[in-house]
Amino acid sequence: MEPKEIAQKAIEKLNKQITNEVFLIIQTDKTLMHSYLKAVENKGLDVVNRAIGMEVKKQYKLVNINDREENPSCTLIQSHQKFE
């Protein structure tokens, strides 16, 4: 496999789990977690989680695939959309 193909395969895998990775960063960063909890308190869990997911999609210019991750490693979410 050529280096470009290796990178493409790794990026494809990352795109499918990027939302989980972003939530893990929030979960493990004390300041971000505090802000996240305040936002959830003010706006509600579903609103905050959807907004974060949509921002991930927008920032990375990702496209939804017809699949969801039902067992993310982050405890802040129960599932998330996968992207390509």
Asked whether residue 8 carries a pLDDT value surpassing 90, the answer given is yes
Whose tokens are 């790794």? That residue is: 10
The share of the chain scoring above pLDDT 70, in percent, equals 100
- C-beta atoms surrounding 57 within 10 Å: 16
**pLDDT greater at residue 46 or residue 78:** 46
Asked whether residue 24 carries a pLDDT value surpassing 90, the answer given is yes
Two tokens, residue 37: 């909890």
Asked whether residue 29 carries a pLDDT value surpassing 90, the answer given is yes
Please count the structural domains in the chain. 1
Q: How does residue 65 score in pLDDT terms, banded at 50, 70 and 90?
A: confident
Q: What's the pLDDT tens digit per position in 69-80?
A: 888 888 898 888
Q: How does residue 35 score in pLDDT terms, banded at 50, 70 and 90?
A: very high
- C-beta atoms surrounding 26 within 10 Å: 18
Q: What DSSP assignment string belongs to 15-40? A: HHHHHHHHHHHHHH-HHHHHHHHHHH
Q: 17 lies in which domain range?
A: 3-83
